[in-house]
């Protein structure tokens, strides 16, 4: 055998024996398997962070965030009601802290969100005239986007502008400014934040009608000569009912528009949904009943296995489209902190993420890692 062929053989068998992406390379310096390392050639692995995490009062989360994630999204603190509480007052305290945390953790911040109908400050409801509303709209976007230009990686410029049938949601923005408000928001963001990626973000936009609505929005922005860099599919799905086909079709259709696809708020809840759907409208609420909270005493193995399988299938899909999919952000770090314990029914016990209430990796974690490594490597060091 020629020396060159032999060298090639040795190299190939070394790659195969470590499961393509080397087990060692998927670990951090302490020998722990690390999500961000495992997927470092594929996509960013992000997490939404809450106040305790931003204020560094949660050492368990701090460790997980630094080991596994390389993108941070503020779960709430960049929303209007917190960052812009009164007409002429902004409060950047927590947002500035988050930017500092991002530097400390070497994890870029993905801003969420500039224009959204929920979690608005009370003063906005009182604005009467269209002129004043437009002033609020312009100043809100310009002030925040320019302050963080170069400090955040992206903005969800507009969040959840669509109804399920693909028409525009009747929000204060639509009512006061008309349907061009979305293009206008992107135009303002582009001007204020030339160095920041700009996304449209929504839930259920993998579903055909709503997807068509999102595509119409994106095309309209592009036709106006305004920049849009990506679309955010939120990804609040039920672990027993993930719409894989629609997700795949969406990645293809959105990517065909020349933009990146981000999964911005991924969590796969295990609990029944009162309306048997995947809408993630934060204003929807339902009554508590024990029947709707079946796993208060713990997550049964069969449910955990199903969730792990769904996560694995999703990640296999993301990997198939790794050229188009730029980021997977989980909506939280560990199960106990997930918004799905309180929404749409208060006081339930949900298990939607990859880490449990004791900050330990779940079956789903290992299955996700195994989409890239051998099972033995995935289990190392936990």
Nearer to ligand XIL, 355 or 366 (CB): 355
Q: Which is nearer to ligand XIL, 137 or 203 (by Cβ)?
A: 203
**Smallest distance from ligand XIL to CB 330, Å:** 12
- Is the CB of 61 or the CB of 234 nearer to ligand XIL? 234
Site for ligand XIL in 132-161 (CB under 6 A): 159
113 or 307: whose CB is closer to ligand XIL?
A: 113
- Shortest separation between residue 223's beta carbon and ligand XIL, angstroms: 26
CA distance 161 to 163: 7
Give, in degrees to the nearest 5, the angle at Cα 59 between 307 and 95: 90
280-309 footprint of ligand XIL as x/- string (CB under 6 A): x-x---------------------------
Which 225-264 residues touch ligand XIL, going by CB under 6 A? 234
Q: Tell the smallest beta-carbon distance from residue 120 to ligand XIL (Å).
A: 12
CB 112 within 8 A of CB 201: yes
Active-site position among 160, 206, 253, 370: 160
Q: Closest separation between CB of residue 72 and ligand XIL, Å?
A: 14
Number of residues that bind ligand XIL (CB under 6 A): 8
Name residue, tokens 């609020």: 136
Given CA atoms 311, 316, 318, 319 in this order, what sign does their dihedral have? positive
Peptide bond into 24 cis (omega under 30): no
Nearest approach, Cβ of residue 352 and ligand XIL (Å): 11
Rank residues 75 and 335 by Cβ distance to ligand XIL and give the closer one.
75
Taking CB under 6 A as the rule, does residue 120 contact ligand XIL?
Answer: no
> Does 167 contact ligand XIL by CB under 6 A?
no
Q: Which of 234, 246, 298, 328 has its CA nearest to residue 36?
A: 328
Q: How far is the CB of 232 from ligand XIL (least distance, A)?
A: 9
Q: Which of residues 27-46 bind ligand XIL (CB under 6 A)?
A: none
d(CA 171, CA 116): 9
Task: Decide whether 144 or 378 has the Cβ nearer to ligand XIL.
Answer: 144
Based on CB atoms, which residue is closest to ligand XIL, 75 or 184? 75
- Rounded to the nearest whole angstrom, what is the least distance from the CB of residue 220 to ligand XIL in the complex? 21
Token digits for 349?
């016990």
75 near ligand XIL, judged by CB under 6 A? yes
Kindly name the residue from 37, 184, 253, 265 that is annotated as catalytic.
Answer: 265
| Residue 265: active-site member | yes
The minimum distance between CB 22 and ligand XIL, in angstroms, equals 36
Among 32, 76, 163, 293, binds ligand XIL (CB under 6 A): 76
Q: Which residue is nearest to ligand XIL (CB)?
A: 339
Active site residue 160: yes
SS (H, E, C) the chain: CCHHHHHHHHHHHHHHHCCCCCCHHHECCCCCECHHHHCCCCCEEEEEECHHHHCCCCHHHHHHHHHHCCEEEECCCCCHHHHCCECCECCCHHHHHHHHHHHHHCCCEEEEEEECCCCCCHHHHCCCCHHHHHHHHHHHHHHHHHHCECCECEEEEEECCECCCCCECCCHHHHHHCCCHHHHHHHHHHHHCCCCEEEEEECCCCCHHHHHHHHHHHHHHHHCCCCCCEEEECCEEECCCCCHHHHHHHHHHHHCCCCEEEEEEEEEECCCCCCCCCCCCCCCCCCCCHHHCCCCCCCCHHHHHHHHHHHHHHHHHHHHCCCCEEEEEECCCEHHHCHHHCCCCCCCCCCCCCECCCCCECHHHHHHHCCCCCHHHHHCCC
Instruction: Choose between 75 and 206: whose C-beta lies nearer to ligand XIL.
Output: 75
Give the binding site for ligand XIL (CB under 6 A): 75-76, 159, 234, 265, 280, 282, 339
Annotated catalytic residues are: 160, 265
């Amino acid at each position: 055998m020629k020396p060159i062929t032999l060298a090639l053989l040795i190299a190939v068998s070394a790659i195969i024996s470590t499961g393509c992406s080397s087990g060692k390379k998927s670990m951090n310096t302490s020998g722990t398997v690390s999500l961000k390392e495992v997927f470092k050639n594929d996509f960013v692995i992000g997490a939404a962070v809450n106040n305790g995490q931003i204020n560094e009062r949660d050492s368990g989360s701090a460790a997980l965030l630094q080991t596994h994630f390389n993108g941070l999204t503020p779960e709430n603190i960049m929303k209007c009601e917190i960052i812009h509480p009164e007409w002429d007052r902004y409060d950047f305290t927590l947002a500035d802290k988050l930017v500092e945390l991002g530097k400390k953790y070497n994890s870029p911040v993905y801003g969420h969100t500039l224009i959204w109908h929920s979690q608005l400050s009370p003063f906005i409801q009182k604005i009467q005239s269209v002129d004043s509303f437009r002033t609020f709209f312009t100043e809100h976007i310009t002030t925040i986007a320019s302050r963080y230009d170069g400090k955040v990686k992206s903005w969800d410029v507009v969040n959840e502008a669509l109804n399920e049938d693909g028409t525009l949601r009747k929000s204060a923005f639509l009512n006061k400014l008309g349907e061009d408000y979305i293009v206008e928001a992107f135009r303002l963001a582009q001007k204020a934040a030339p160095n920041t990626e700009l996304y449209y973000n929504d839930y259920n936009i993998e579903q055909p009608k709503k997807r068509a609505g999102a595509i119409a929005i994106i095309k309209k922005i592009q036709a106006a000569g305004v920049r849009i860099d990506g679309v955010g599919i939120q990804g609040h799905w039920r672990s027993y009912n993930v719409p894989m086909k629609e997700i795949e079709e969406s990645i293809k259709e959105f990517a065909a528009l020349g933009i990146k696809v981000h999964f911005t708020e991924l969590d796969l809840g295990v609990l029944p949904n009162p309306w048997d759907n995947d809408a993630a409208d934060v204003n929807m609420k339902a009554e508590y009943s024990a029947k709707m909270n079946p796993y208060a005493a713990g997550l049964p193995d069969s449910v955990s296995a199903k969730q792990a399988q769904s996560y694995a299938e999703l990640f296999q899909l993301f990997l198939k489209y790794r050229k188009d999919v730029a980021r997977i952000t989980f909506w939280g770090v560990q199960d106990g902190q997930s918004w799905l314990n309180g929404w749409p029914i208060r006081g339930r016990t949900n298990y939607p993420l990859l880490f449990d209430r004791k900050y330990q990796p779940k079956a789903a974690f290992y299955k996700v890692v195994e989409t890239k490594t051998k099972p033995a490597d995935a289990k190392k060091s936990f």
